[in-house]
Amino acid sequence: MDRDWLLAAHAASVVRVPRTVTIALQAGLVVGLAFVLTGFVRSDHDVQLQLDGRSVAVHTYANTVGGLLAERNVSVSDRDLVEPSTDTPLDETNTVTVRHARPVEVVVDGKPSQIWTTALTVDGALKQVGVRTADADLSASRSERVPLSGARIGVQMPDQVTVLHDQRRTTVVTTAQNVAGVLKDVGVPRDDNDIVNIDPTHRVKTGMQIQVTRVGVKTVHHRFTIRHHVVRKADSHLYEDQTKVMQHGRDGVGLITTKVVRHDGVVVKQKQLNRKVLRKPVREVVLFGTKTRPFTAPSTGAAGLNWSALAGCESGGNPQAVNAAGYYGLYQFSLSTWYSVGGTGNPVDATSEEQTYRAQLLFQSSGSAPWPVCGPLLYS
């Protein structure tokens, strides 16, 4: 109701209407003013504004949630969360919640995806996009706040991996991001020499089989014998069956240094690094005789026979006589007969004394029969 109009009406009533009417108009004026004042008070609100997780008490004259946000210079977009909606009258709520959307890159097992979230914490953001993290390993604390500028959250889901090491097989469920992390979780130490069949920086996948080969490198020293040489020298002063050591020999000693590489205890490679002589060998000098030893015929009991007559008849008395039919020496032995009485080599190479001795042995076993033509001369 217009205040000037009410005053004009009140002035007119003083002149034209009775006192009772004036009182009625004054009463109406009071009621009208009260109505205006009442309307002004009802637009005055106390609201709890929760802005991105931070709560503040606000005294406002705005009538709607949108009006409150405009009054507080809080801008929102379609991605943001506003509860209740912006067109909700403030008469109907005493709490207004605003959460601004923020960009988050979620990397699950190395696979990135970009999302917008109104969740305030890492855990809330992951739940909002449906990532189950009960057994997962996160790059940030679950309770860590997600800033308005955005964040990157790494999620490593548990994988079942088998590790072969030290003649053992270990199967584990792990959230390690790479092979090196798995080996650390399993407690498998390794040095620079050890071989891992998968690059330690490779990301982990379920079903992966990691094999660690222990490589041992050792320098080994090994002594060896250097055999001495034997030098034989002829000596005409010694008989053929005699030898004499003029200088005793001695073996030498050498040392080999070898690099040995083992894979899980099995030698796979050897490389000689050095070879040296610690002690040189000493050669041995042996003299051997060349002089023919005189043959001394043992007594046979047939020495009294005329062996020279037999020899003269068989070979003309020539110890080196050879018959083309295969008979040799003074007594024309065949080689088989010569061997049967202990002779060696060829009869022509034996002395006359030995040939006579062998003939006498033959006579003792066979008489004069081996010499059917000349044999009777033995008795002459």
Q: What is the pLDDT of residues 280-322, one digit of tens each?
A: 999 999 999 999 887 777 778 888 899 999 999 999 999 999 9
Residue 237 — very low, low, confident or very high, per pLDDT cuts 50/70/90?
very high
Q: Of 372, 375, 367, 321, which is closest to residue 348 (Cα–Cα)?
A: 321
Which of 99, 120, 144 is at the close of a domain? 99
**Cα separation, 19 vs 257, whole angstroms:** 137
Residue 10 — very low, low, confident or very high, per pLDDT cuts 50/70/90?
very low
Separation of CA 9 from chain center:
106
Residues 30 and 51 in one domain: no
Residues 300 and 323 in one domain: yes
- What percentage of the chain reaches a pLDDT higher than 90? 56
Contact between 162 and 171 (Cβ < 8 Å): yes
**Cα separation, 348 vs 352, whole angstroms:** 9
| 41 pLDDT more than 60 | no
Burial of 317: CB neighbours in 10 Å, binned 0-12, 13-18, 19+: middle
The token duo for 27 is 């009463």
Q: Which CATH number belongs to the domain containing residue 92 in this structure?
A: 3.10.20
Vertex 33: Cα angle to 29 and 37 (nearest 5) = 170
Average model confidence (pLDDT) across the chain: 85
Q: Which CATH number belongs to the domain containing residue 117 in this structure?
A: 3.10.20.30
Which pLDDT score is estimated for 132? 67
Number of domains in the chain: 6
Which pLDDT score is estimated for 154? 77
* Model confidence pLDDT, tens digit, residues 13-28: 333 334 443 334 344 4
Write out the E strands in the chain. 45-51, 54-60, 81-83, 95-99, 102-108, 111-117, 137-138, 151-156, 159-165, 168-174, 195-196, 209-213, 215-226, 230-239, 243-247, 252-263, 266-279, 284-291, 322-323, 327-328
Q: Which residues pair with 112 in a beta bridge?
A: 107
Tokens 């209407």 sit at which residue? 17
Which of 290, 305, 334 is at the close of a domain? 290
Residues 251 and 279 in one domain: yes
Which of 156, 178, 198 is at the close of a domain? 156
* Model confidence pLDDT, tens digit, residues 82-96: 999 888 998 888 899
Tell me which of 338 and 23 has the higher pLDDT: 338
Model pTM greater than 0.85?
A: no
Give the structural domain span for 202.
161-212
Residues 92 and 107 in one domain: no
Residues 203 and 225 in one domain: no
Whole-number CA gyration radius for the chain: 64
Tell me which of 339 and 149 has the higher pLDDT: 339
Question: Is 102 strand, coil or helix?
Answer: strand
| 176 pLDDT more than 90 | no
Contact between 144 and 122 (Cβ < 8 Å): yes
| Residue 69 CB contacts under 8 Å (≥ 6 apart), including other chains | 75, 76, 82, 86, 96, 98
CB neighbours (10 Å) of residue 146?
Answer: 22
Contact between 215 and 262 (Cβ < 8 Å): yes
